[in-house]
């Protein structure tokens, strides 16, 4: 039977547990939200039987389920006795910041009844005292933004480098004639370059053919453009990764998506061949007339 790495995400409502869960999911954890403690052993048994290689599980446990703490110490000890590696990530914040976040989002605290949010926060903090004492890591999210919290979780999870799984870059060519890809993070228009479509011998070819790429790449504006674009990606990628960005879609467009954009995408492949980045290249409209 495989042994699991289990991260329990818990803490005060509004302190950043959802953000942490998304970070762990992006890092390859199977994440389950709002699971009662009493169901945890059964859930782990089912997961074990699946026989996953090096399985990593993250479970969000909090007061949205009013009885989630029933017998938690006994249940947690049983999970550890079964040989699973258990960590508890506890998320906390000052009352001032918690109240401000609930005010900004206009969401209702799960324990609020008639006593008001301050009393609900105090009651929740008292309920979670035991879990906080056993926490592997305590994250105080007072005064930090979502990006800073992501980086804190990544740093704790993987060490000072703060990242284990690479950032996935999707680099694609397209034709403006067929619309800008809706999932684009960055879009670059290369229609300023001379169009091989108007040269009879190049029209039936694509940017994958040497005759077309040679024609495009020898243009001085193309050389200058690629120089600036490589410098831009060299600057952006490390900062995107530092901010915890998991996916980046870069779209390069020309009129029909067959000549100029294809050539530029192929030339840019090497710009993404850096540590911590995986690259997927597609020419969306290359086969269209």
pLDDT at position 218, please? 95
Whether the Cβ atoms of residue 226 and residue 277 lie closer than 8 Å to each other: no
Higher pLDDT, 167 or 50: 167
- pLDDT single digits (tens) 91-129: 988 888 887 766 655 566 555 665 567 787 888 888 888
Q: Name the least confident of 85-89, 94-98, 161-165, 205-209.
A: 161-165
pLDDT at position 167, please? 79
- Chain-centroid distance, C-alpha 170: 14
For 178, the token pair is 């067929």
Distance CA 105, CA 7 (A): 27
**Average pLDDT for the chain:** 84
Whether the Cβ atoms of residue 289 and residue 250 lie closer than 8 Å to each other: no
Q: Name the least confident of 17-31, 54-68, 139-153, 220-234.
A: 54-68
pLDDT at position 54, please? 53
Alpha carbons within 13 A on the beta-carbon side of 92: 17
DSSP lists the bridge partners of residue 5 as 56, 85
pLDDT at position 53, please? 58
Q: Could you give the domains of the chain?
A: 5-158 (3.40.50.300), 167-283 (no CATH)
**Average pLDDT value for residue range 227-245:** 85
Q: Is 257 exposed, middle or buried (0-12, 13-18, 19+ CB in 10 A)?
A: buried
**Average pLDDT value for residue range 77-104:** 82
pLDDT at position 229, please? 95
Query: How much is the pTM?
Result: 0.58
Q: Name the least confident of 14-18, 115-119, 177-181.
A: 115-119
Task: Give ∠ CA 23-243-283 in degrees, rounded to 5.
Answer: 90
pLDDT at position 1, please? 45
Higher pLDDT, 136 or 151: 136
For 223, the token pair is 């050389």
């Amino acid at each position: 039977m495989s042994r699991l790495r289990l991260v329990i995400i818990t803490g005060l409502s509004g302190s950043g547990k959802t953000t942490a869960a998304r970070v762990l999911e992006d890092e390859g954890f199977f994440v389950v939200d709002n699971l009662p403690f009493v169901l945890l052993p059964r859930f782990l048994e089912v997961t074990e039987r699946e026989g996953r290689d090096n399985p990593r599980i993250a479970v969000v446990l909090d007061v949205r389920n009013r009885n989630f703490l029933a017998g938690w110490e006994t249940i947690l000890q049983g999970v550890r006795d079964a040989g699973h590696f258990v960590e508890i990530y506890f998320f906390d914040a000052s009352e001032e910041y918690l109240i401000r976040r609930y005010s900004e989002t206009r969401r209702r605290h799960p324990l609020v009844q008639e006593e008001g949010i301050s009393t609900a926060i105090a009651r929740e903090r008292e309920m979670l005292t035991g879990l906080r004492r056993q926490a592997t890591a305590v994250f105080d999210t007072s005064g930090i933004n979502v990006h800073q919290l992501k980086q804190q979780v990544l740093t704790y999870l993987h060490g000072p480098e703060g990242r284990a799984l690479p950032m996935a870059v999707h680099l694609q060519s397209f034709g403006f004639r067929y619309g800008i890809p809706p999932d684009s993070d960055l879009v670059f228009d290369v229609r300023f370059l001379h169009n091989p479509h108007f040269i009879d011998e190049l029209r039936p070819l694509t940017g994958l053919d040497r005759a077309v790429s040679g024609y495009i790449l020898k243009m001085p504006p193309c050389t200058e453009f690629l120089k600036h674009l490589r410098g831009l990606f060299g600057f952006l990628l490390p900062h995107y990764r530092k901010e915890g960005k998991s996916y980046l879609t870069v779209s390069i467009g020309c009129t029909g998506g067959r000549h100029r954009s294809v050539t530029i995408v192929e030339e840019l492949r090497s710009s993404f061949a850096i540590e911590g980045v995986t690259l997927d290249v597609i020419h969306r409209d290359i086969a269209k007339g």
